[in-house]
Amino acid sequence: MPSSLTQGRRRNSSAGEPTFNPFPSFDEAGLSFRRSQLSLVAGGPGTGKSALVQYICTIGLRRQAVNRVLYISADTDSTTMFVRSAAILTGWETSYIEGRLHSDESVDELEAIVDQGAGHIQMVFKSYPTPEDVENQLLAYEEVWGVLPDIVVMDNLKNLDFGEGGGEEFSALEAACEFLHEIARDNNCAVITLHHVEGKYEDGGTPIPLSGLRGKVSKTPETVVTLHRTGTNLHVSPVKYRSGRADPSGKYFLTLTSDLSRMQYG
């Protein structure tokens, strides 16, 4: 049934509400991932897309408050995600954490740290989940926890499997975006999906414009940020953002210091 704008807002007053993030510079710029919206984070290989999103989901509002997260890690295995989580929470180097895991030295301590600090994140590790898999995971999450997640992460967009009938890559990626947008709207959660860029931007050293997304999938997401690096600095370019300032050229960006050896940002 049609409704007035006021009625629509009352029915879902938290739609568009920002999720927690740990970066004051994001707050100052008004940049956030919002409920009921699809956000896309894109960059070249090794830029740190997954690491950044995992950090945001883990730390939340500088550890004062966190969001409930369903993280579909189709592109990264469980051990890697565990090591990253432990590094985020402790500041220890990932190589040190891996060494402790391989030597079985104080594994219980590491598991306790991750369970306590990242217990609000529920993981799915299926390599090529179908849309039905995603919907079933949401149903299972709600059945277990009694609520839906605040954030759903799809890592990576290309891993969402629409089957052989998905057609060419462009059509499959577009269908994946439309499906995730529907998930965000229907479940009032912020959906964040990670994505690749065109070959000439894969070096990750220059600003990536909106037109640099692989498959030209910029139509559906409300928010698109691209990532590039210079030295230890990670630059986050809002190239599409319906709630604030954006520049499709990628030349307007926010800068974070980063240490991927320890999974730390500042």
Say which range, 8-17, 188-197, 217-226, has the weakest mean pLDDT.
Answer: 8-17
If you average pLDDT over residues 65-89, what whole number do you get?
97
pLDDT digits (tens, 9 = 90+) for 33-47: 999 999 999 999 999
- Residue 190 CA: distances (Å) to CA of 17, 37, 48, 66, 180: 9, 5, 20, 13, 10
Residues contacting residue 79 through CB under 8 Å, at least 6 positions apart: 101
Quote the CA–CA distance of 171 and 190 in Å, as a whole number.
23
The CA distances from residue 176 to 14, 127, 162, 232, in Å, are: 24, 15, 8, 33
Three-class SS of residue 249?
coil
Predicted TM-score (pTM) of the model is 0.92
Average pLDDT over residues 188-210: 95
- For residue 38, the SS3 value is strand
**Four-way CATH pick for 16-82+121-265: 3.30.1020.10, 3.20.19.10, 3.40.50.300, 3.30.930.10:** 3.40.50.300
Q: What is the pLDDT of residue 162?
A: 82
pLDDT given at position 171:
85
**Average pLDDT of span 101-119:** 90
User: Which pLDDT does position 106 carry in this prediction?
Assistant: 79
What pLDDT, in 10s, does the model give residues 111-169?
Answer: 999 999 999 999 999 999 999 999 999 999 999 999 999 999 999 999 999 875 444 67
Quick one: pLDDT at residue 24?
96
Percent of the chain with pLDDT over 70: 92
Q: Is the per-residue pLDDT at 5 higher than 50? A: no
Give the pLDDT score at 4.
Answer: 47
Distance CA 114, CA 118 (A): 5
Of the chain, the percentage scoring pLDDT greater than 90 comes to: 84
